[in-house]
Chain A
Amino acid sequence: MSKDNQILEELTSKEYEHGWSVNYETDEAPAGLNEDIIRWISAKKEEPEWLLEWRLKAFRTWLNMAEPSWANVTYPKIDLQALKYYSAPKQAKKTKSLNEVDPELIAIYERLGISLNEQKRLQGIAVDAVLDSVSVATTFKDTLGKLGIVFCSFSEAVKEHPELVKKYLGSVVPMTDNYYAALNSAVFSDGSFCYIPKGVRCPMELSTYFRINAANTGQFERTLIVAEESSYVSYLEGCTAPQRDENQLHAAVVEIYAAAHAEVKYSTVQNWFPGDKEGKGGIYNFVTKRGICEGDHSKISWTQVETGSAVTWKYPSCILKGDHSIGEFYSVAVTNNYQQADTGTKMIHIGKNTKSRIVSKGISAGKSQNSYRGQVQVMKRADNARNFSQCDSLLMGDRCGAHTFPYIDINNPSAKVEHEATTSKIGEDQIFYCNQRGIATEDAVALIVNGYAKEVLNQLPMEFAVEAQKLLALTLEGSVG
């Protein structure tokens, strides 16, 4: 196995590609968490009174909440008082067009491979770029605006579409939902807002790109997607952060609302800094994502490729309230070195004839721990609910762990629920077969892993699929157990 070890070593010595940081002038809140900070953030963002009240209410509830400890992850206690809750690149004034955005900031995104220049972009993706606490630019706004689609930063939405924000904010993830959701509700700084009017099929992929740059800050963004009747949108989210020794907290909330016959597809390629190979540093990714299929025949589909973060705690969920609504969850979670991931989904069947499908592929290498935690709940009046879940784990190396915690709660006799899970490693016979045909071990592993994850990767929009495939190869290249 010496060759495998050698390959493993090569892999672990691979540096995190997006580990650089840039110095730019920032506007920061002082460290600490209290009502004054919340007022400060709210004032800074020139928010209306109701939103400040909403934040404060969330904060007061949060004070009485305890940090959840049920997840299968361990990490030192986070000192929330030591964090800065707001950090924004200094901009002279509000920018109207991309030409006015500080070229330095655009350069950051260029370096990440995200061109904010509309002409240079591949056709078909509009981007909202979020740097630390604020959105720096949103592309293709005019094109989308013609169709009545609102796609802008959250702060802008609060100013320009307060009625929409007020109506839907917290409607899917209530401010008191859980510890981190409440924290986010109190201190969220920015994020994306997206509104697709009735009957509109969004012509391009919408995308948010999150980047944490500043040190000692937490990123708390909030995304709200509202799809009105018979509309369709595909939404992408990507994230990276610089390589730092200390851990940083990322506690986001994503809410999706789908009215009758609407379809929302939400894809994430999460590549936060995972910590170095000794497990030092990295992002704590504690995210609450939930969508509600409010109307009949609506559909929400989550696809995630999780390769980054030191600790992940994330359960994109679907509440299938409308009759005939559909929820889907496709996930590839890769952990290496000392990474820990506890991720999965919840499918709550409330309406009749609802369907859900879960495909989760976990890959653990190094000394990492990878857990799938999911719940399928069929309520009493959810006649003819149908669920299929599949969660497979692939182990590479004998120091890692793969865990499965599926909860299946059925209260209706007409439900049909299936769950299956397997755990295995890459077979020596499979490698041998490839070797025989002249494929080097390293390529064989990439081939097998990609084949293993294909069912999920196929769900990603084309551009993201390419990125995800590269990421997988980068994270796992050659690690034969």
Chain B
Amino acid sequence: MSTLTIQDTIQGLLAAAPDNFSSSRLKGKENLEAQGLPALKAEEYKFTPITKKLESSILSFSPALPITVTPEMVQSAIFEGFQGDVLVFSNGKYLPELSSKIEGVEVDFISAKENTALGSIAKPEKDAFAALNLASFQDGIFISVPKKSQIEKPILLLSFCQANEGQVIQPRVWIESGDFAEATFMDMTVSLGEQSYFVNKVVEIKGGINSQINYYRIQNEGKNAIEVSNIETDILKDARFTSVNLSLSGDMVRNNLSLNLLGSNSEGNMYGIYMLNGKTHVDNHTNVDHTIPHAESNELYKGILADQSRGVFNGKIFVRQDAQKTNAFQQNNNILLSEDAIVNTKPQLEIWADDVKCSHGCTVGQLDEEALFYLQARGIDKVSAKGLLLYAFAGEVLEKIEDESFRDYAIGLIQERLGSKF
């Protein structure tokens, strides 16, 4: 047990920060100091005592040094059927020598792009961890998809993470797309070693007018990994953004996903599955901000909780006064499989405009006994029948993944967890 205090945390990491982006870093630092890391029972982190977790699990609050990643490691990490380009990261550091050259896309270290308005999308005011990352990230990646270019092959961001002297990894991703651009990103992590580490990730996505961006993510962290991520995107006129997030393991995981709908006829979609066992704790906080008229958002998160796992869901939909003719839908369904699993869900609507269609729904329950019986009566054993029903439950989210190979991979992971193939 360490006796780490918030002050130490800030100082250790801040001292190790490079001296670029000085005004952004200063802003991050100020916001971090103003907020402090979330206190126990703080409303936004009510069910996720992240600060306490960090205090007890992370002994060395300094940046983890990059580890050696070999081409073989990259090869074996890439899933079957993947047809696309790979960007490789070691403890948050971009490794160009192992990464693909992507045709028509500009990729560089963030440090080489001093003019990037870091923190303008994932604002440090909103979250202490976003502020911490802004103040003290080492380096990150800058990806720019030019105007009118349609990148057909998906881009895989493949991260290798392992505690290495320090235990803090702070990846930072900046994605910008020009008007009418299209691209699909996949985000995966390979966890190495048993030692705890803390990933504090920030992804900022700036979509152009009429752009279409998909961001698919699989969180299959090591069982001692602690992760906080802030993914935030600005969606302009006629643009569409879709996020699919699969959380499968980790120690304590917190995802903040925020969509800012800034132009009319824009569309934001957020889909997620959290399928947990052991003592995994996953907290998904999503936030959709409708600021303009005629925009649409859809959200569907499904949870399957076994053993002593805990799933937290908080979906916020804001519909500002000017955002008339908004359509916003939100749904969260959970299945509890064991006595000790816990669900805390809070679907939240805040609406200031009258001509809108908004709804949210949430359910917590278990498998339908009658459906189970029906399958068993037809000769399917109980375990397979349960698996089949759970697979069908998750299927609604999985089918939102447009990329076939990624969808098959995700289905494979879910089936593996369910213990049978269908």
Contacts and interface: CB of A to CB of B under 8 A. Distances in A.
Interface of A: 70, 378, 380, 393, 395-425, 481
8 contacts: A403-B350, A404-B349, A405-B348, A413-B338, A416-B364, A417-B363, A417-B365, A423-B351
A404 B349 CA distance: 5
Interface in B152-209: none
Interface stretch (B59-67, B81-89, B353-361): B353-361
Q: Is the interface of A mostly helix, strand, loop or mixed?
A: strand
A343 to B, nearest CB: 15
Interface stretch (B105-113, B137-145, B339-347): B339-347
A354 to B, nearest CB: 15
Given A402-B349, A408-B344, 7 more contacts: A398-B321, A407-B346, A410-B342, A410-B345, A412-B336, A420-B361, A481-B355
B343 A419 contact: no
Interface of B: 43, 47, 321, 324, 334, 336-339, 341-366
A407 B338 CA distance: 21
A65 B321 CA distance: 36
Contacts of A418: 361-363, 365
A402 B359 CA distance: 12
Contacts of A415: 336, 364-365
A263 B354 CA distance: 39
B360 A425 contact: no
B346 A420 contact: no
Given A413-B339, A413-B341, A419-B347, A400 B361 contact: no
Contacts of A395: 351, 353-354, 356
Nearest to A401: B352
A412 B339 contact: yes
Nearest to A424: B357
Nearest to A72: B350
A421 B360 contact: yes
B340 to A, nearest CB: 8
A413 B337 contact: yes
B336 A410 contact: yes
A417 B341 CA distance: 15
Contacts of A412: 336, 339
B345 A408 contact: yes
Q: Is the interface of B mostly helix, strand, loop or mixed?
A: strand
A401 B346 contact: no
A65 B181 CA distance: 56
Nearest to A385: B364
B313 to A, nearest CB: 9
Contacts of B355: 398, 425, 481
A409 B313 CA distance: 10
Contacts of B349: 393, 402-404, 421, 423
Contacts of B336: 410, 412-413, 415
B351 A406 contact: no
Contacts of B356: 395, 423-425
B344 A409 contact: yes
Nearest to A377: B344
A401 B336 CA distance: 34
A405 B353 CA distance: 17
Contacts of A423: 349, 351, 356-359
A400 B342 CA distance: 36
Contacts of B348: 403-406
B83 to A, nearest CB: 41
B345 A398 contact: no
Contacts of B345: 407-410
Closest 8 A-B residue pairs measured CB to CB? A413-B336, A395-B354, A420-B361, A417-B364, A404-B349, A423-B358, A481-B354, A401-B352
B168 to A, nearest CB: 31
Nearest to B335: A413
B321 to A, nearest CB: 7
A8 to B, nearest CB: 12
Nearest to B359: A422
B342 A411 contact: yes
Contacts of A401: 350-352
Contacts of A405: 346, 348
Contacts of B324: 398
Contacts of A414: 366
Question: Which of A397, A407, A416, A425 has the largest number of chain B CB atoms within 10 A?
Answer: A407
A419 B363 contact: yes
Contacts of B321: 398-399
Question: Which of A405, A408, A481 has the largest number of chain B CB atoms within 10 A?
Answer: A408
A53 B166 CA distance: 58
B371 to A, nearest CB: 14
A220 to B, nearest CB: 29
B357 A408 contact: no
Nearest to A389: B362
A368 to B, nearest CB: 11
A30 B351 CA distance: 44
Nearest to A409: B344
A402 B338 CA distance: 36
A380 B340 CA distance: 8
A406 B342 contact: no
A192 B349 CA distance: 37
B359 A413 contact: no
Contacts of A421: 347, 349, 359-361
B364 A408 contact: yes
A70 B355 CA distance: 28
